[in-house]
A and B are shown apart, each in its own frame.
Chain A
Amino acid sequence: MNVTLQSAKMIGAGLATIGLTGVGAGVGIVFGSLVIAYSRNPSLKNELFGYTILGFALTEAIALFALMMAFLILFT
């Protein structure tokens, strides 16, 4: 492929990773809510930590969708 297409792919892949900013904020919100909820009611390791891990994994999935789009743009 010619050079312009390859450089456009690189620019597109770089732009696609901008979506990770929202995910960073989201993961911070999840764990910040854990800290606040633990301070209100220390019933940790029963419910709160389980919900936090679930929330973290679900939010991280969005990060991986954005990263997957970046790799799709870069490599195909």
Chain B
Amino acid sequence: MYNINQTFFSASPLEQFEIIPLIPLELFGLNMSLTNASIFLILSVALSIFWSTLVIYKNKLVPGNWQSVKEIFYDTTLTLVKDNLGKKGYRYFPFIFTLFTIILYCNLIGMVPYSFTVTSHIAFTFGLALAIYIGINIIGFRTHGIKFFTIFLPKGVPLFIVPLVVAIEFVSYVVKVFTISIRLFANMTSGHTLLKIIAGFVWTMISIGGVFVYLQIIPLVLLLALVGLEIGIALLQAYVFTLLTCIYLNDVLEMH
């Protein structure tokens, strides 16, 4: 009788986030090895470029199915930039679209079973958020010069609580980096961990045997619903990351 416990069974639900160096490479004292994370990131970039070029290969005025999906992404990002940034923000549209595309593809590729979610690592999302934050600061300094620091003082504040308001605004400005990156990272990580835990229940129920082989349908159906929810969360988190980037960029460009 084939023992079902001998097959591939990971020890803990957090094991799916391990970064495995596939080709170890050490350059100037930095660890530049090719890991499974970098393979999936290269795959996301390649798929997004490949699919974006392929759907407009024979573009029709009334779009087919694939082209319609791409147009929905384009239209969402365009309304985002138009609503939050206005006319002056159209020059940032390629960047916003690239940001939305890469986070969406990284999130969605992670939904494939046994694959790796690149955005479920705080290193990736924090690096991205920090780069965007530094870029927004540079844009702010270029646009407004030294008057950039008036962003910390909203209009119409009574004089005696000005130090408190400036301190609060400064802290909330710095914490933006952390919240935007932790939101994306924690959503992805907790979603995938939950999926792994429920799948572990299904597996354990099957391996006990007896009546549980029929009762395992219940966590399996729950798993199906959760996968649907996770795909929704993947789309939503990409949208919210991009929306918040647009809002912060608008704050910097216009708050004077």
Contacts and interface: CB of A to CB of B under 8 A. Distances in A.
Chain B interface extent, by class:
10 to 19
A53 interface: yes
Given A53-B236, A57-B236, A57-B237, A64 B187 contact: yes
Contact of B14 (A53, A58, A75): A75
B182 A68 contact: yes
Nearest to A57: B240
B183 A64 contact: yes
Interface string A14-55: 000000000000000000000000000000000000100110
B186 A67 contact: yes
A61 B236 contact: no
B244 to A, nearest CB: 8
A58 B182 CA distance: 11
A14 to B, nearest CB: 16
A64 B190 contact: yes
Nearest to A47: B83
Given A61-B179, A75-B14, A54 B240 contact: yes
B243 interface: yes
Interface residues of A, number: 12
Interface string A58-70: 1011001101100
Given A61-B179, A75-B14, A54 B186 contact: no
A65 B182 contact: yes
A54 B243 contact: yes
A61 B183 CA distance: 5
Nearest to A67: B190
A25 to B, nearest CB: 19
Given A54-B243, A75-B14, A65 B236 contact: no
B100 interface: no
A72 B56 CA distance: 46
A53 B239 contact: yes
B186 A57 contact: no
A22 B182 CA distance: 19
A65 to B, nearest CB: 7
A68 B240 contact: no
A20 B190 CA distance: 14
Contacts of B186: 61, 64-65, 67-68
20 contacts: A53-B236, A53-B239, A53-B240, A54-B240, A54-B243, A57-B236, A57-B239, A58-B240, A60-B183, A60-B187, A61-B179, A61-B183, A61-B186, A64-B186, A64-B187, A64-B190, A65-B182, A65-B186, A67-B186, A68-B182
Given A50-B83, A57-B236, 9 more contacts: A53-B236, A53-B239, A57-B240, A64-B190, A65-B186, A67-B186, A67-B190, A68-B182, A68-B186
Interface of B: 14, 83, 179, 182-183, 186-187, 190, 236-237, 239-240, 243
